[in-house]
């Protein structure tokens, strides 16, 4: 990586100095080239540079895909994510094909038809057939993409809620997240920021009978292979709940409830042990180790080794600490989820405790 970097910098500086020296040379000869309009010599040089540039562009693109292609997120951990990735790869394949062809034509023509004295350009103003062809081809290709995309879109966005669906509220505030589970009745109690008070940090309506069994947590646990319907609520400004590993995202808007639904298909454990993630985490820990050395040398604390967890992050500018607004997500087997959720305190219990405390402090 660093080697590549150095090569790039040196190459660029090289080009700069080469051009600079050419300028100096040209400015000395003076007379023949005083119009500042490109002459045959310029056309030739710049034509070759055009060819050189398209070579650079190709190498750079190939290098990017080779070196950074694996930045792409691991296999999708949600049911719809598979369709998402398929559509993504088809689209990337398509646009890269067009990219490779058109960039070649552009720069190759620029090289091939570089001007020279006596060369005659072709007066070629129109060709209806040609223009029809390159209107209709994009039309057909795009029609295909649009139709495919729209089917996938409506599959993802049309939520069919049945008894099995787990309803979870994701609550956003500057700068963190809370999850609220709907409890045994699978119905979220009413809530509004006006009810926020003391331990009732997400503003649940005490008088709503559905609210008693709601559970507010700081981690998001999800049972694998069960559809989850997320209801998003924000306390203050716009946030965006971005679940990159699940190919899911929805803005969180104060004053309204937005929603998104997906079915997690890969547990945290499985993802952690997948070939991709093992390799990735090793690499990350290598980087962290090296960085720690520097830090320790400067008298700072070393970085902890990294272990993969799914996360939810904020993806809509929301204030000073926008860059650190995250929540851990754990996808686990149904039994593990059940025992975890059973341990969490329900809103009713919290209220009771509070009242008892009040009573005892009054005595």
Partner 1 sequence: MSATANATVAQDHHGHDDHGHHHKETFITKYIFSQDHKMIGKQFLITGLVMGTIGILMSILFRIQLAWPEEASWVFELFLGDKYATDGVMNPDAYLALVTIHGTIMVFFVLTAGLSGTFSNLLIPLQIGARDMASGFMNMLSYWIFFLSSVIMLSSLFVESGPASAGWTIYPPLSALPEAIPGSGTGMTLWLVSMALFIAQSLMGSLNYIVTVINLRTEGMSMTRLPLTIWALFVTAIIGVVSFPVLLSAALMLIMDRSFGTSFFLSDIYIKGEVLAHQGGSPVLFEHLFWFLGHPEVYIVLLPALGITSEVIATNSRKPIFGYRAMVASILAIAFLSTIVWGHHMFVSGMNPFLGSVFTFTTLLIAIPSAVKSFNYITTLWKGNLQMNPGMLFSIGLVSTFITGGLTGIILGDSTLDINVHDTYFVIAHFHLVMGISALYGLFAGVYHWFPKMFGRMLNKNLGYVHFWVTAVGAYGVFFPMHFIGMAGLPRRYYTNTNFPYFDDLADVNVIITIFAIITALVQLVFIYNFIHSIFFGKKATQNPWNATTLEWTTPVEHIHGNWPGKIPSVYRWSYDYSKLNKDETDYVIAGQDFIPQNVPLQKNEEELNH
Within residues 61-80, the interface with partner 1 by CB under 8 A covers: 61, 64, 68-69, 71-73
Name residue 178's beta-bridge partners. Answer: 171
Of residues 185 and 309, the one with the C-beta less far from partner 1: 309
- Two tokens, residue 20: 């600079």
Mark the segment that binds partner 1 (CB under 8 A) among 141-149, 164-172, 209-217, 343-351: 141-149
Judged on CB neighbours under 10 Å (0-12, 13-18, 19+), 247 is buried
Look at strands 220-223 and 215-217 and give their pairing.
Answer: unpaired
**Site for partner 1 (CB under 8 A): which residue of 3, 122, 297, 301?**
122
Find the length of the chain.
363
The residues in 280-309 that bind partner 1, with binding defined as CB under 8 A, are 280, 283-284, 287-288, 291, 303, 306, 308
DSSP string, 217-240: ESSEEEETTS-EEEEEEESSS-EE
Q: Say whether residue 92 binds partner 1 (CB under 8 A).
A: yes
* Nearer of residues 185 and 269 to partner 1, judged by Cβ: 269
> What 3-state class would DSSP assign to 302?
coil
Cα–chain center distance at 37? 47
Structure tokens at 287: 């980087």
Out of 110, 295, 330, 341, name the contact with partner 1 by CB under 8 A.
110
Report the distance separating Cα 313 and Cα 318, nearest Å: 12
Residue 49 in the binding site for partner 1 (CB under 8 A): yes
Which residue is associated with the tokens 């646990």?
221
Check binding of 55 to partner 1 (CB under 8 A): no
Out of 8, 62, 82, 278, the residue judged to bind partner 1 by CB under 8 A:
8
- Minimum CB separation from partner 1 for residue 184, in Å? 27
To the nearest whole angstrom, how small is the minimum distance from the Cβ of residue 78 to partner 1?
11
Q: Per CB under 8 A, does 107 bind partner 1?
A: yes
Site for partner 1 in 319-338 (CB under 8 A): 319-324, 326
């Amino acid at each position: 990586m660093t080697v590549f970097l150095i090569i790039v910098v040196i190459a660029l500086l090289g080009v700069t100095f080469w051009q600079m020296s050419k300028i100096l040379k040209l400015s000395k000869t003076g007379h023949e080239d005083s119009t500042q309009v490109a002459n045959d010599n310029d056309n030739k040089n710049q034509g070759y540079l055009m060819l050189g540039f398209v070579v650079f562009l190709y190498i750079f693109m190939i290098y990017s895909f080779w070196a950074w292609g694996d930045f792409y997120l691991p296999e999708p951990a949600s049911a719809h994510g598979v369709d998402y990735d398929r559509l993504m790869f088809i689209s990337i394949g398509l646009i890269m094909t067009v990219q490779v062809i058109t960039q070649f034509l552009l720069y190759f023509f620029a090289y091939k038809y570089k001007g020279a004295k006596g060369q005659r350009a072709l007066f070629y103003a129109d060709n209806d057939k040609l223009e029809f062809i390159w209107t209709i081809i994009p039309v057909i290709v795009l029609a295909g993409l649009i139709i495919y995309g729209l089917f996938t879109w409506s599959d993802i966005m049309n939520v069919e809620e049945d008894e099995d669906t787990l309803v979870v509220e994701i609550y956003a505030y500057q700068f963190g997240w809370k999850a609220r589970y709907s409890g045994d009745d699978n119905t979220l109690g009413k809530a509004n920021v006006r009810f926020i008070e003391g331990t009732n940090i997400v503003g649940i309506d005490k008088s709503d009978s559905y609210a008693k069994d709601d559970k507010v947590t700081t981690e998001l646990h999800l049972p694998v292979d069960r559809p989850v319907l997320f209801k998003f609520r924000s306390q203050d400004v716009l946030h965006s709940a971005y679940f990159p590993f699940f190919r899911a995202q929805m803005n969180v808007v104060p004053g309204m409830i937005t929603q998104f639904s997906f079915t997690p298909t890969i547990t945290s454990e499985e993802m952690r042990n997948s070939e991709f993630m093992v390799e990735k985490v090793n690499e990350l820990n290598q980087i962290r180790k090296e960085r720690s050395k520097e830090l320790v040398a400067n008298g700072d604390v070393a970085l902890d080794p990294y272990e993969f967890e799914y996360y939810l992050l904020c993806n809509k500018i929301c204030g000073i600490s926008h860059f650190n607004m995250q929540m851990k997500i754990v996808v686990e087997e149904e039994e593990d989820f059940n025992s975890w959720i059973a341990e969490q305190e329900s809103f009713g219990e919290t209220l009771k405790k509070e009242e008892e405390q009040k009573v005892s402090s009054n005595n």
